[in-house]
Chain A
């Protein structure tokens, strides 16, 4: 027995002491902001009123669940993240956070967010959140990302679930409205991402990640942008004719889909020589439109919901 205290024991000093900011960066805050926005819209446009505090906790759980899947993705992809410029400064390849810590945070927050969402709302919403985390971490990160150039198509589903979860929080069900909100993000992801891939030089190839631009060529990618945009249009317009659609959404959807479709057609019509001549102006323009596209659709859904509320109150 000794009375030697901890004060005397040498405590190993590491080169870097991770702070809360480093752990927060594991959760991909920018992705979380999109998840919070679309999840909130799914919750607010539903016909069932939710207590504001329960709504707040539900959105927090969706955000934390998304962050947890981001941490699991960073844990699994640490080897390839280190090889690519865009991702080399992420906390694990930068040596700021140990891989085991990221795994622990990812698993811990996954369990926490799913259980809390279940307690606060219902089993369906919690089950959808658990499936989303599983889908992003296992189906996309561990399986599809390194094996198929269609990775972004199927993996995009993970980003499409939040409005469906928000809807399930309020209604406890899955309906045509929530399926179409899911479909809107799901079908929007490929043309949005491939428009970016056409003008940004990526090093996915160096990391062994198959991307459509490299496996099938850039002309094929241009064709894919047009095809997926054509498939997106009926989903976006169809939402206007459900219970959550309205005149504002229909107007916005008509304008934005015509704009996006024109851009996708222009991308398909030209080749890389023409694109290089104007520094990929069309591709950059379509990518920018795609950002406005999704935001405008979900804001329009909110505006129509607010209008319905006002009409109901009069």
Chain B
């Protein structure tokens, strides 16, 4: 059997496949960009620690505690 590396269908759909690939890359870029912007907007890094879904008593201010 002759090994054909690429079916004719691949050539025919090349434009569409490239388009889908670029859209997915764009989506990755958007999600990455949003993550960077949202994290930077938090300002204080302890704010970010609140999102790790683990109870961290050390970041909860004690009652009556003074700075």
Contacts and interface: CB of A to CB of B under 8 A. Distances in A.
Interface string B14-51: 01100100000000001001100100010000000000
A255 interface: no
B12 interface: yes
Chain B interface mostly: helix
Nearest to B34: A120
Interface residues of B, number: 15
Contact of B12 (A7, A17, A20, A51): A17
A25 to B, nearest CB: 13
A312 interface: no
B41 A19 contact: no
Nearest to A4: B1
Given A53-B33, A54-B37, A116-B30, A17 B13 contact: yes
A191 B13 CA distance: 45
A119 interface: yes
Contacts of A54: 34, 37
Contact of A51 (B1, B7, B30, B37): B37
A20 B19 contact: yes
B4 interface: yes
Contacts of A120: 34
Given A7-B4, A119-B34, A51 B15 contact: no
